[in-house]
Amino acid sequence: VPVLDTTNPQTVFAEFLSDFGFTTQDSLDVQSDDLTTADFHAILPGNRISDTTAIDLAHDAVALQMRTSQYPDFNDAPWVDYADTSLIILEPIDDQDVYLIYTQYRNYWFESAIRTDWTILSDTGVRVEFSYPLQDYVVEGGTSIEVTGVSSTFDATFPVTEVRTHLGDGWQPATGTDNWESLWEVPLLTEDTTWRIGALAYAEDDSTDATRSGQAWITVTISQFRIDIVDPLDAAQIERGIVQPISGTSRAYLAGAPIDSIVVTVLDATYTVLSSFDNWSVNWSVPADGDQQQADIVAKAYAAADS
């Protein structure tokens, strides 16, 4: 059905006639896709390592044409008919392991932004992969987790002899080889942060002492469950007999339970905040009588079982 040459919404109507003289009508609303959600990904294992330059790609767009390249200017790559899957042959570059892949889409009305994905080319014959966490996982800052994975070799004369992990503090020995693990003290940061962690596997031939290696990198998000007191400042001098505001900020874990309460204690007073957790405040009635003393202010945020 030819539609109007416009980016505005429009309706296509249909009428159906039966052998008995009955008719029915239906309609369908259509609109040109602006390609803002068009995207793709390389079809690769979780460690993104490929031992071949031929990389399969999966596309998700409402487009007439597309183009792909390993170069950001597309290097004169031609526009071709859109397909849900395609193949790109990477050109190896000396001293380069990580390769970016670029795609772009267009239809009759729109041209998409340039999308990217990446892979590591390796012919080492040693593969190492993460089992937990995986690419794009959210992990909780300030906690301890077991980073686990597997490794394997494609040559029986080169068994895997050692695995190391890089969790932000340099390459450290992991426990195990074919199935390995490392304890990660996930750092407590000031905000949600993307973090790259790596695994490196070594394989050695006992008869020749020749070695091979392979590595994998993934990116996770370290999410923060934290609470901070903004006012008063530490060691501030507070006048007796006044109402002193105590205020601060808090943040729950990404993909975790939302904060449901904040409790503030100072001397013998307790205050509970039940809303406005991002920027919270309570009013402390400072005792009027007494000598100079230290008052510890403690604020706790609660989110389900975490505090």
Find the mean pLDDT for residues 204-223: 85
> Collapsing DSSP states into helix, strand and coil, what is residue 111?
strand
Pairing of strands 65-69, 98-106: antiparallel
pLDDT for res 2:
86
Find the mean pLDDT for residues 55-67: 96
DSSP 8-class letter at 74: G
Question: How much is the pTM?
Answer: 0.52
Counting residues of the chain whose pLDDT is more than 70, the rounded percentage is 96
Strand partners, 12: 28
Pairing of strands 138-140, 211-223: parallel
- At residue 37 the predicted structure's pLDDT band, cuts being 50, 70 and 90, is very high
pLDDT for res 154:
65
Strand partners, 91: none
Positive or negative, the Cα torsion across 168, 173, 175, 179? Answer: positive
CA–CA gap between residue 201 and residue 152 (Å, rounded)? 9
Given a contact cutoff of 8 angstroms between Cβ atoms, the answer to whether 260 and 304 are in contact is: yes
- At residue 97 the predicted structure's pLDDT band, cuts being 50, 70 and 90, is confident
Indicate whether 64 pLDDT > 90. yes
CA–CA gap between residue 16 and residue 27 (Å, rounded)? 11
Looking up tokens 């005792």, which residue turns up? 287
pLDDT for res 131:
94
| Among 212, 105, 94, 226, CA closest to 160 | 212
Indicate whether 47 pLDDT > 80. no
Pairing of strands 179-185, 226-231: unpaired
| Among 37, 40, 36, CA closest to 88 | 40
CA–CA gap between residue 177 and residue 164 (Å, rounded)? 9
User: Which two three-digit tokens encode residue 261?
Assistant: 């309460």
> Collapsing DSSP states into helix, strand and coil, what is residue 75?
helix
Given a contact cutoff of 8 angstroms between Cβ atoms, the answer to whether 12 and 27 are in contact is: yes
Indicate whether 1 pLDDT > 90. no
pLDDT for res 96:
78
Indicate whether 224 pLDDT > 90. no
CA–CA gap between residue 213 and residue 230 (Å, rounded)? 49
Positive or negative, the Cα torsion across 60, 63, 66, 71? Answer: negative
- At residue 95 the predicted structure's pLDDT band, cuts being 50, 70 and 90, is confident
Looking up tokens 């460690």, which residue turns up? 47
